[in-house]
Amino acid sequence: MIIKNVKVFTEDKRFVPGEVVIEDGLFQVEASNQDEVIDGNGCYAIPGLVDVHFHGAVGYDFCDGTEEAIQEIAKYEASQGVTTIVPATMTLPEEELMQIAKTAGAHKNEEGAVLAGINMEGPFISPGKKGAQAGTHIVKPNVEMFRRLQEAANGLFRLVDIAPEEEGAMEFIKELHDEVHISFAHTLADYDTAKKGYALGADHATHLYNAMPLFTHRAPGVIGAAHDSSHVMVELITDGVHIHPSVVRTTFDMFKDRVVLISDSMRATGMPDGQYTLGGQAVTVKGNMATLTEGGALAGSVTNLMDCMRNAVKNMGVSLEDAVAAATINPAKSVGLDNKYGSIKQGKVGNLVLLDQNLEIQKVILNG
């Protein structure tokens, strides 16, 4: 397949007029035969998006623990140009997480977005910053529990979230940082604690600014520690609800190519307003805002990653180049998937999205 007359997003984060070649499901430099030719009509050609933190869509949640849920979510995400997914679990009992892990580990990736990993958002978090997580199921960071779940998932967990101030957290990082990417999330950690954890091998910050201490001039907290640890990638939700546009711009200035756009979307994404659930808790959705019915805490988003990327460009002053990188190669790097996904490079999986000048999807190509 040859896609001609497009502006190709390159690995050095520029748009260059040219063409894209995909053969046998992989990007290639040039075509080896006269294959199907598509006129891109001047569209932007970008890699398929990579969402490393979201919970569900179209009435389904990854934590439903069913093949139907995974498949329906995967089909929806692909239709929105999100071709590689790393959905997140919630703070649940181990037996429920075990069922979710086993179901995901058995998934075959036959249709829709590729299930390339799992993000374990709970239960190793702080009760003091639980947000929309269920406090009754929070436990201390537990190496053995993680390894049991990882085995059940056939090694699919790419990211595990912890609160570094909790008992056993530093030992958890020391033991597991070579086996899985470790993120700080739902935490009350101060700067020194977070900095120590990052020095030990943690390398990620979950939905920056949300469910963590404020970044202030005398107490920079996790945000300051992440900034000062050059290997750390930071998630950012640009749905227009979680983060003010000025803070979004500032974060891109501070972290540059370490920003990872996420959707943090829940099952109401792609659905009408109404009552839904997240991690077993009731959620009220109105417009683009989802909150716990009891207490009113933000409960994820109802915006998919493509819309978050589009919103960052159109309404938040982020350049198209920075936004595309933050939704493709940066997230792929953050969970160790950049050898296969995230950029238009020879040998990588041929997932491609064509966007018109208004950033509306014209075509999604999966595996060529």
CA angle 191/192/195 to nearest 5° reads 85
pLDDT band at 33 (very low <50, low <70, confident <90, very high): confident
Which residues, in sequence order, are CB contacts of 218 under 8 Å at separation 6+? none
Per-residue model confidence (pLDDT) at position 32: 83
pLDDT band at 347 (very low <50, low <70, confident <90, very high): very high
pTM score, two decimals?
0.97
Q: Which token pair is 298?
A: 């933000």
Q: Which residues are catalytic?
A: 264
Tell me which residue of 214, 210, 328 sits closest to 261, measured CA to CA: 328
The arithmetic mean of pLDDT across residues 82-106, rounded, is 97
Checking if the pLDDT of 200 tops 80, the result is: yes
Which residues, in sequence order, are CB contacts of 79 under 8 Å at separation 6+? 364
pLDDT band at 50 (very low <50, low <70, confident <90, very high): very high
Q: Checking DSSP bridges between strand 352-355 and strand 44-47, what pairing results, if any? A: antiparallel
Q: What are the domain boundaries of the chain?
A: 1-46+342-368, 49-340
Per-residue model confidence (pLDDT) at position 133: 85
pLDDT band at 62 (very low <50, low <70, confident <90, very high): very high
Q: Which CATH architecture has domain 1-46+342-368?
A: Roll (2.30)
Tell me which residue of 141, 121, 120, 139 sits closest to 211, measured CA to CA: 121
Residue type, 364: V
The arithmetic mean of pLDDT across residues 30-42, rounded, is 88
Checking if the pLDDT of 34 tops 80, the result is: no
Distance between CA atoms of 50 and 344, rounded to whole angstroms?
Answer: 13
Partners of 236 in beta bridges = 261
Q: Which token pair is 216?
A: 């202030």
* pLDDT tens readout for residues 261-311: 999 999 999 999 999 998 888 999 999 999 999 989 888 899 999 999 999
Average pLDDT, rounded, for the chain? 96
Per-residue model confidence (pLDDT) at position 266: 95
Tell me which residue of 168, 164, 219 sits closest to 191, measured CA to CA: 219
pLDDT band at 35 (very low <50, low <70, confident <90, very high): confident
- How many C-beta atoms lie closer than 10 Å to residue 109's C-beta? 13
Alpha helices, H only, the chain? 67-79, 94-106, 143-152, 169-176, 191-200, 221-228, 245-255, 305-316, 320-327, 329-334
| CATH of 49-340 among 3.20.20.140, 3.20.20.70, 3.40.50.1000, 3.40.50.720 | 3.20.20.140
Per-residue model confidence (pLDDT) at position 92: 95
Per-residue model confidence (pLDDT) at position 73: 98
Residues 182 and 144 sit within 8 Å (Cβ to Cβ):
no
- How many C-beta atoms lie closer than 10 Å to residue 12's C-beta? 9
**How far apart, in Å, do the first and last CA atoms of the chain sit?**
7
The arithmetic mean of pLDDT across residues 238-265, rounded, is 98
Angle separating helix axes 245-255 and 305-316, nearest 10 degrees = 100
Rounded alpha-carbon distances, angstroms, from residue 276 to 210, 269, 280, 282: 21, 10, 9, 6
Tell me which residue of 272, 270, 239, 273 sits closest to 76, measured CA to CA: 270
What percent of the chain clears pLDDT 90, i.e. is strictly above it? 92
